[in-house]
């Protein structure tokens, strides 16, 4: 991360001095009322339309049982206890919020290069996610070349499961897994949690909670320990948008497909893979042929040489049973 002073930033009628040295020390920055209410409301309205009109393309994770599916196939949707994955791929409004010139400029100052929007998560309720650091799961090629921003779509009540974090925890040396990397290994996560708990106690780092107001932005370092605190009032919502950004140079080295936007880029990629029973597809809901073939080049080859008639036929006869995603 670059250590530099950022200029005064005008947000909702109040000047906020944003200084990167504070970010280096604490591992986070708070931008109060960064987005105006009408910006938030406009994006929220666009997302409601998206969920109605493109429900068969929106990938969601059920926060209660971990099941991944399309929004069109999700059960108990009225609970709204879901994580909506990568709406930035479908929504120009999300991209506009996440890569607006002013926010992208601040992120670029912290990263030391242009930010690349590579992931977005929308929540209507608290995530309840255990303590973690983002670099465990989205490990950058270059250390620290990852940053995140959390945008409050409404005022957060203490009972709604607010974001929790440990200031200064980004300076804890990264845990090394048995494969020699810092990327999460499923069979070793208990050891990682033990390590982090010990480090937090040894360093005297205290948990804090972010009781955001609508339009606030919370930016954090890829190695900051954070999570979703328990929901104590299930009637409360906590509508929010979380975005992750890689540095441009890492993405260029990986030859990723970058689309320019304001002072940054967004990563054009496929959505998270989903499996649904083949029976859901028919005249009223066509099979996503193009997406399936992009995801599975071997199926494309099988069609080209006449071994398969179509991607849909492959999914029905083989792909679903093989656990292939759409």
Judgement on whether residues 63 and 136 belong to the same structural domain of the protein: yes
Whole-number Cα distances in Å, 68 to 21, 29, 63, 73, 224: 39, 32, 9, 10, 26
Judgement on whether residues 228 and 204 belong to the same structural domain of the protein: yes
In a domain, residue 273? The reply is no
- Is the confidence at residue 15, as pLDDT, over 50? no
Q: Where are the alpha helices (DSSP H) in the chain?
A: 20-26, 37-53, 92-98, 101-111, 189-203, 248-253, 289-295, 297-304, 311-314, 320-322
In a domain, residue 212? The reply is yes
Judgement on whether residues 151 and 248 belong to the same structural domain of the protein: yes
- Is the confidence at residue 91, as pLDDT, over 80? yes
Are the C-beta atoms of 95 and 73 separated by less than 8 Å? no
pLDDT of residue 262: 86
- Is the confidence at residue 165, as pLDDT, over 90? yes
Number of domains into which the chain is organized: 2
Lookup: tokens for 128: 């309840």
In a domain, residue 3? The reply is no
Judgement on whether residues 32 and 156 belong to the same structural domain of the protein: yes
Encode pLDDT of 32-67 as tens digits.
Answer: 999 999 999 999 999 999 999 999 999 999 999 999
Judgement on whether residues 289 and 163 belong to the same structural domain of the protein: no
Q: Which residue, of 225, 243, 267, is where some domain finishes?
A: 267
Judgement on whether residues 67 and 211 belong to the same structural domain of the protein: yes
Encode pLDDT of 27-40 as tens digits.
Answer: 999 999 999 999 99
In a domain, residue 242? The reply is yes
Judgement on whether residues 294 and 245 belong to the same structural domain of the protein: no
Q: Which residue, of 221, 238, 267, is where some domain finishes?
A: 267
CATH number at residue 138: 2.60.120.620
- Is the confidence at residue 3, as pLDDT, over 90? no
Long-range contacts of 154-159 (CB under 8 A, 24+ apart): 154/214, 154/237, 154/238, 154/239, 155/212, 155/213, 155/214, 156/210, 156/211, 156/212, 156/213, 156/238, 157/211, 157/233, 157/236, 157/238, 158/209, 158/211, 158/232, 159/231, 159/232, 159/233, 159/236
Integer Cα distance of 295 and 310 in angstroms: 14
Whole-structure pTM value: 0.92
One DSSP character per residue, 36-100 reads -HHHHHHHHHHHHHHHHHSTTT-EEEETTT--EEEGGG-SSGGG--EEEE-GGGT-HHHHHHHT-
Encode pLDDT of 187-200 as tens digits.
Answer: 999 999 999 999 99
Q: Look at strands 59-62 and 68-70 and give their pairing.
A: antiparallel
Judgement on whether residues 191 and 288 belong to the same structural domain of the protein: no
Integer Cα distance of 34 and 16 in angstroms: 9
* Residue-range definition of the domain harbouring residue 306: 281-322
Judgement on whether residues 55 and 22 belong to the same structural domain of the protein: yes
Judgement on whether residues 148 and 253 belong to the same structural domain of the protein: yes
Are the C-beta atoms of 133 and 140 separated by less than 8 Å? no
In a domain, residue 1? The reply is no
Judgement on whether residues 56 and 158 belong to the same structural domain of the protein: yes
Encode pLDDT of 212-238 as tens digits.
Answer: 999 999 999 999 999 999 999 999 999
């Amino acid at each position: 991360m670059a250590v530099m002073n950022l200029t005064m930033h005008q947000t909702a009628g109040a000047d906020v001095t944003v200084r990167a040295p504070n970010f280096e020390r604490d591992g986070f920055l708070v931008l109060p009322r960064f987005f105006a209410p009408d910006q938030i409301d406009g994006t929220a309205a666009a997302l409601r339309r998206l969920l109605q009109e493109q429900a068969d393309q929106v990938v969601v994770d059920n926060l209660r049982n971990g099941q991944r599916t399309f929004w069109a196939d999700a059960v108990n949707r009225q609970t709204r206890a879901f994580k909506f994955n990568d709406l930035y791929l479908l929504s120009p409004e999300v991209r506009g919020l996440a890569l607006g010139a002013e926010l992208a400029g601040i992120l670029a100052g912290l990263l030391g290069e242009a930010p690349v929007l590579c992931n977005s998560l929308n929540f209507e309720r608290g995530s309840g996610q255990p303590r973690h650091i983002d670099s465990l799961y989205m490990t950058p090629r270059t250390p620290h070349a990852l940053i995140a921003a959390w945008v409050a779509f409404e005022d957060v009540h203490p009972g709604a499961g607010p974001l929790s974090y440990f200031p200064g925890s980004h300076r804890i040396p990264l845990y090394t897994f048995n494969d020699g990397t810092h990327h999460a290994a499923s069979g070793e996560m208990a050891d990682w949690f033990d390590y982090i708990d010990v480090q937090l106690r040894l360093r005297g780092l205290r948990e804090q909670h972010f009781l955001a107001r609508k339009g606030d932005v919370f930016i954090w370092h890829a190695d900051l320990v954070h999570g979703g605190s328990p929901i104590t009032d299930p009637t409360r919502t906590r509508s929010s948008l979380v975005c992750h950004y890689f540095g441009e140079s890492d993405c260029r080295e990986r030859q990723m497909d970058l689309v320019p936007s304001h002072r940054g880029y967004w990563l054009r990629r496929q959505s998270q893979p989903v499996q649904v029973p083949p029976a859901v597809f028919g005249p009223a809901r066509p099979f996503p042929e193009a997406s399936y073939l992009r995801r599975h080049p071997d199926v494309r080859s099988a069609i080209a040489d006449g071994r398969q008639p179509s991607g849909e036929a492959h999914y029905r006869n083989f792909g679903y049973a093989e656990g292939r995603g759409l």
